[in-house]
């Protein structure tokens, strides 16, 4: 019987890294459409010794179908789409790829979105193409230098964003992060309420957990400055999108720049209709370099699980 590693798609255009590393262990690769026939997906999972997943939700039913598997490897860091309790009950190792240079790409993308929103790049592009010119004073633009920049979560990516923003003249950095004991150099730790009230620019860099889903809600948004910009390159469920839409529509918030949404793709999401919102397609992490690092890292984690029953970046 052929030994199989299942890759739940959507994944990547090429799987040479996985094929090279797992091929040495005698495993073949079997890509399966995660959005296709569920029965076919469960059948494929029943044959897998190891399962790779990027965006597909792995619920208890799918995990229960993994009768031969030793583990699940998530392409990337977040594991909120995997039922970890079901995996643990099944005796599966769940691993992720912790270090693939995301702090570089995500930090770059965060700053790009922030600049696009603050400098009105998208609306300027649209207006000029439509024949407008010199419309600046009709849409005032605040100077970035001298702003207070706030962070929800202050891990590696947030620190990289702060480093980049210091080059734009931002010197006042505040953060709310319950996992930090002491304030990093140059950063003031504040309460959630103070974060909302003081930030001119606010960037989200927290995981989505049961405790913080919708943490950027109506009450938080009501405390924010009317000229503030909100950027989210972390997880969509951090924001109560209905409350955000209302705040933007009522001009109680200058703008938002979003790479992630609670439901993706965000087809029919009312936020897409607002000129005050700059949008990208959950691509903050992306570059050719990060894809190669993610895939080779995932393959190495899978190899460790198969050979030792453990993983370097094990979650369960």
Catalytic residue ranges: 235, 264, 282
How far is 54 from 77, CA to CA, in rounded Å? 10
Q: Are 157 and 175 in contact (CB under 8 A)?
A: no
Q: Are 151 and 161 in contact (CB under 8 A)?
A: yes
Q: Give CA 142 to chain center in angstroms.
A: 27
Polymer length of the chain: 316
How far is 220 from 215, CA to CA, in rounded Å? 8
CB contact set of 304 (below 8 Å; sequence gap of 6+): 95, 310, 311, 312
Q: Are 158 and 151 in contact (CB under 8 A)?
A: yes
Q: Give CA 13 to chain center in angstroms.
A: 20
Q: Are 50 and 307 in contact (CB under 8 A)?
A: no
Q: How many helices (H) and strands (E) does the chain have?
A: 11, 12
Task: Point out which residues pair with 216 in neighbouring strands.
Answer: 239
What is the end-to-end Cα distance of the chain in Å, rounded? 28
SS3 252: coil
132: phi > 0 → left, psi -120 to 50 → alpha, else beta; which?
Answer: beta
Backbone angles phi, psi at 211, to 5 degrees: -75, -30
């Amino acid at each position: 019987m052929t030994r199989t590693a299942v890759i739940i798609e959507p994944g990547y255009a090429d799987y040479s890294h996985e094929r090279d590393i797992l091929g040495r262990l005698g495993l073949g690769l079997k890509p399966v459409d995660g959005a296709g026939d569920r029965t076919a997906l469960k059948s494929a999972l029943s044959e897998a010794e190891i399962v790779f997943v990027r965006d597909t939700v792995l619920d208890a039913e799918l995990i229960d179908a993994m009768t031969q598997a030793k583990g699940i490897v998530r392409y990337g860091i977040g594991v909120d789409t995997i039922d970890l309790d079901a995996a643990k009950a099944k005796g599966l190792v769940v691993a992720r790829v912790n270090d693939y240079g995301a702090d570089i790409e995500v930090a770059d993308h965060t700053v790009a979105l922030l600049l696009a929103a603050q400098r009105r790049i998208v609306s300027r592009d649209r207006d000029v193409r439509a024949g407008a010119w010199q419309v600046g004073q009709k849409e005032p633009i605040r100077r970035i230098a001298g702003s207070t920049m706030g962070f929800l979560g202050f891990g590696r990516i947030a620190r990289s964003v702060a480093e980049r923003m210091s080059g734009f003249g931002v010197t006042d950095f505040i953060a709310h992060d319950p996992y930090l004991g002491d304030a990093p150099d140059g950063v003031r730790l504040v309460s959630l309420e103070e974060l909302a009230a003081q930030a001119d620019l606010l960037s989200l860099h927290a995981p989505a957990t049961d405790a913080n889903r919708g943490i950027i809600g109506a009450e938080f948004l009501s405390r924010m400055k009317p000229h503030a910009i909100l950027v989210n390159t972390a997880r969509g469920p951090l924001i109560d999108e209905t409350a955000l839409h209302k705040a933007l529509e009522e001009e109680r918030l200058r703008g938002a720049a979003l790479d992630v949404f609670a439901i993706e793709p965000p087809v029919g999401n009312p936020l897409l209709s607002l000129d005050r919102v700059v949008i990208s397609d959950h691509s903050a992490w992306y570059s050719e370099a990060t894809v190669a690092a993610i895939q080779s890292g995932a393959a190495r984690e899978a190899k460790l699980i198969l050979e030792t029953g453990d993983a370097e970046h094990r979650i369960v």
